[in-house]
Amino acid sequence: MENRGLLAGKVAIITGAAGGIGAATAELMLARGASVVLADIAFDRAQQLAGRLGENCWPVELDLASEESIKAMVEKAVSHFGRLDILHNNAAALGPDIAEADGDVEHMQTRIWDMAFTVNCRGSMIATREALPHLVQSKGCVINTVSNLALQGHVIQAAYSASKAAIIQMTRSVAASHGRKGVRANAVAPGMTMTPALKEAFPPHIRKLVEDETLRDQLGEPEDIAEVAAFLASDAARNITGQVIVADGGLASHVPGIAGFMALGDN
Ligand SMILES: NC(=O)c1ccc[n+]([C@@H]2O[C@H](COP(=O)([O-])OP(=O)(O)OC[C@H]3O[C@@H](n4cnc5c(N)ncnc54)[C@H](O)[C@@H]3O)[C@@H](O)[C@H]2O)c1
């Protein structure tokens, strides 16, 4: 409860707010006193969420593939709430069909690569560019949701991973260029996180492969990522900028193959 007012008076835009991590983050930021713009291409779900979360949030239709749509989102947020303190670039082009098509580079379809970079990376850049003049005024911050896959190699999702790695570097660039103007920029890198969309995209036997290599006894929940984003958005994180906070239950913290070693210990 002592965290309740940590974001009091602040205005946040969350992209992909209708999704698992975005919705959990919106709920937590609202609970901590922020007003939140719920931006998503799935406008019907954003509206439903706004209905559930009640006052101080506002659904806005957003297509991150469209520069005009992104500019309109920032303008609407500022004209509706009068200021902007937090930009959470959280949306990504995801879903079972995209995950299925996004494999290794040898088999990469150019359209899958372009989609990942257009929506995830270019979209986050444009949103950040449009938000920065307002964030300079408010001494605000940018939070980018990236992924553990941006930090380590894998046999899957080469396009997604590369687009998220590019966002990490953009995070550092913004932190460097705008730090002295009072703006912080950080990223949160979730490991596999149990959103409804994730459960649909990855069946239990795939999730088990990750679970076995995780140091907790369960995969992360959307609320685990929301906690990191809400902390980074608050003045409690005023000395943190240009960083990637990995929230993956320890998945990336150890030598690969630990599951096999743990099984040896069981014998
Ligand atoms: N869930 C995980 O395991 C996991 C792991 C690592 C990183 N992430 C990252 O977390 C973030 C949130 O993902 P999630 O797990 O909540 O997924 P999700 O699919 O539940 O949410 C993603 C949201 O983005 C929206 N979106 C997609 N394309 C868009 C576009 N063109 N314009 C605007 N909105 C668009 C979708 O409608 C959806 O509501 C993403 O950046 C994802 O890459 C998730």
Distance 21 CA to ligand 1 centre (A): 7
Tokens (6 digits) for 76: 């609407």
Place 200 in a pLDDT band, splitting at 50, 70 and 90: confident
Q: What is the pLDDT of residue 171?
A: 99
Segment 43-59, tens digit of pLDDT:
999 999 999 999 899 99
Tokens (6 digits) for 8: 């009091």
DSSP state of 220: B
Pocket test for ligand 1, best of 45, 64, 67, 94 (most atoms within 8 A of CB): 94
Tokens (6 digits) for 153: 């190699």
Nearest to 144 by CA among 92, 77, 220: 92
Residue nearest to atom 27 of ligand 1 (CA): 93
Average pLDDT over residues 133-155: 97
Domain spans in the chain, listed from the N-terminal domain onward: 11-266
Average pLDDT over residues 101-105: 96
Average pLDDT over residues 24-29: 98
Strands 86-89 vs 141-145: parallel, antiparallel or unpaired: parallel
Whether the predicted pLDDT of 98 surpasses 90: no
Segment 67-87, tens digit of pLDDT:
999 999 999 999 999 999 999
Average pLDDT over residues 169-193: 98
Edge-to-edge strand list for the sheet holding 184-190: 57-61, 35-40, 11-15, 86-89, 141-145, 184-190, 244-247
* 160, 171, 198, 229: the active-site residue: 160
Place 3 in a pLDDT band, splitting at 50, 70 and 90: confident
As a whole number, the mean pLDDT across the chain is: 95
Whether the predicted pLDDT of 1 surpasses 80: no
Whether the predicted pLDDT of 5 surpasses 80: yes
Place 29 in a pLDDT band, splitting at 50, 70 and 90: very high
Q: How many residues in the chain?
A: 267
Nearest to 217 by CA among 184, 240, 257, 249: 249
Q: What is the pLDDT of residue 260?
A: 87
CATH number of 11-266: 3.40.50.720
To the query of whether residue 160 is one of the catalytic residues in this protein, the response is: yes
The DSSP H or E segment spanning 245 is: strand 244-247
Distance 90 CA to ligand 1 centre (A): 6
Residue nearest to atom 10 of ligand 1 (CA): 145
Q: How far apart are CA 241 and CA 213, in angstroms?
A: 29
Q: How far apart are CA 240 and CA 76, in angstroms?
A: 29
Pocket of ligand 1 (CB under 6 A): 15-16, 18-22, 40-42, 62-65, 90-94, 119, 145, 147, 190, 192-193, 195, 197-198
